[in-house]
Amino acid sequence: MRGDAMGFQRPPGTQDILPGSAGDWQLVEATARELCRRFNYREIRTPIFEATELFRRGVGETTDIVEKEMYTFEDRGGRSITLRPEGTAGVVRAYVENKLYGEPDPAKLYYIGPMFRYERAQAGRYRQFHQFGVEAIGSADPALDAEVIALGWMFYREIGLEGVRVEINSVGTPAVRAAFRGRLLEFLEPLKDRLCEDCRKRMERNPLRVLDCKVDQDKFGGAPSILDSLDGECREHFEAVQGHLQAMDIPFTINPRLVRGLDYYTHTAFEYKAEGIGAIDAIGGGGRYNGLVREIGGPDQPGVGLGIGLERTVLLLQKLRQDASRAALDVYLVSQGEAAERETVRLLHRLRQAGFKADRDYARRSMKAQLKAADRLKARYAAILGDDELSRGEIALKEMASGEQRTVRLEELVHHLTELDRSHPETRTE
C-alpha cells in the first residue's frame, strides 16, 4: 500500500471485485446456497478473527499456515488475535461454545466468507480469498464423507465446470500415521541431501507432507504408501466411502500421496483439481477430522468438511466463458440437395448482412463431413438444411458445444440467432 502522489493501492494479494465480475460471484454464491439447501446444510456465520490459540491448536503447529502465513496481531486489550486462515476451526469453536451437539443428528453447517493467509501472491493465490465450506459434525458414518464429497462435486458441475477431478485418500488415524511415519523416514533418509529445503524441514516435523512436494515429486517413485499401513478399521471406512461414491456415480481417483495442509484430518482426505490456473491445480478440498472437536475443548465428536476456493472457481468460470467465446465462426451452414444448396447462398448472405460471421461448404462433402468441418472451424452453430427441411420451410440449428439441436422456421433463422446472441453476448466471436 503506497500513499504517494499516485494515490493509494490495494495491499498485495487482495482484489477489488468490481461490478463487471460481481455477477459471477453472485452466481457462485447462489449455487453454493442452493446446493446446501438441497443437502440440508444450514448457514453459520462466525467472526473473521479469533483467538490465535484456536488456530494453533485447530490447524496445527507444524503446518505452513500456522508457521508462516497467519495475520496475527495484538489488539488494544493485549490479546493475540488472528484473522481466520480457514473456516473449520471457527465453526468447530462455535459448535462447542453454542453447544450445537445436543442433537441426535449431525450438525450440518455451511459458510461463505473471506479467509486470510500471508502467502506469496500469484495467479489464483491471494492473501485475502474467499471460501465456501461445509462441516458435518457429530457422526463418523462414511456415508457423510461421501455426502460432503458429492456436495462439492455437484457444486462445480452446477457452475458448469465439468473437467473437475476428485482425488481421495485415507490418512488413517494418528496411530496409523505414527507407524507410517517411521517407514517413510526410512525411505526418505538416504534421499535427504537431494531434497529441497522445505522438504528437509518437513522431514523433521511433518514427513507426510514431503510426499506432497511439487519440487521433489519425481524422487518418490519407490516411496511406501500410507494405504499399506492402514489398520482394519481405517481400511473399512475408506472402502465404504468409495462404495458410496460409486453408488452416486461420482468419478474419483485414489491418490495415496494426497495429504492436506492442515493437521487435523483423519481417515478421508480429498481434493478437487482442475487445469487452467497457472501452476495451481487444487481448487478445493477437505476431509474427516475426528479428533478436532475434542482438541478444541469440546466433546469427542467426529466431523467431516470441505473448503472450496471461490476466487479459483470464478477464474475457471471466466476462463470457460472466454474459451467458448473464442468460437471462430458464428454459423456454419450445412446443406444437402440441390434446392437446399441454392437456398444456402441466400441464407448465408442474409446472415452476413445481419452481422454474423458465417461460412459454408464448397466441396460438396457429405452432411457428416460438413458437420465435422463445422467442428474443426470452431463454429458456434451449425445450421443444417436438407431438401426435407427446405420443403417444410425449416432449418435445424445445432449448438456445437452442447450438441443441442432445435428446429427453426427458415425465415426466422436470422432473428432467432440475433436473439440467442443477445442473451449470451459473451459467446460472440471476436
Interface residue list for ligand AMP (CB under 6 A): 86, 117, 119, 125-126, 129, 131, 260-261, 282-285, 307, 309, 311-312
Select 282 or 410, whichever has its Cβ closest to ligand AMP.
Answer: 282
- In whole angstroms, the minimum distance from the beta carbon of 407 to ligand AMP comes to 43
Could you tell me which residues come within 8 angstroms of residue 209 by beta carbon, excluding any fewer than 6 positions away? 202, 259, 261
CA nearest to 83, candidates 111, 109, 46, 57: 46
- In whole angstroms, the minimum distance from the beta carbon of 53 to ligand AMP comes to 20
Rounded Cα distance, 19 and 42, in Å: 28
Backbone angles phi, psi at 94, to 5 degrees: -65, -35
Select 14 or 429, whichever has its Cβ closest to ligand AMP.
Answer: 14
- In whole angstroms, the minimum distance from the beta carbon of 283 to ligand AMP comes to 5
- In whole angstroms, the minimum distance from the beta carbon of 261 to ligand AMP comes to 5
- In whole angstroms, the minimum distance from the beta carbon of 10 to ligand AMP comes to 15
Rounded Cα distance, 210 and 293, in Å: 27
Select 58 or 284, whichever has its Cβ closest to ligand AMP.
Answer: 284
Rounded Cα distance, 135 and 133, in Å: 7
- In whole angstroms, the minimum distance from the beta carbon of 42 to ligand AMP comes to 21
Rounded Cα distance, 88 and 132, in Å: 11
**Helix/strand/coil (H, E, C) string of 254-310?**
ECCCCCCCCCCCEEEEEEEEEEEECCEEEEEEEEECCCHHHHCCCCCCCEEEEEEEH
Asked if residue 50 lies in contact with residue 164, where contact means CB atoms within 8 angstroms, the answer is no
Q: Which three cell numbers stand for residue 108?
A: 450440518
Rounded Cα distance, 367 and 263, in Å: 59
Rounded Cα distance, 220 and 218, in Å: 6
Q: Report the residue closest to ligand AMP, judged by CB.
A: 309
**Helix/strand/coil (H, E, C) string of 337-384?**
CHHHHHHHHHHHHHHHHCCCCEEECCCCCCHHHHHHHHHHCCEEEEEE
Select 287 or 333, whichever has its Cβ closest to ligand AMP.
Answer: 287
- In whole angstroms, the minimum distance from the beta carbon of 113 to ligand AMP comes to 12
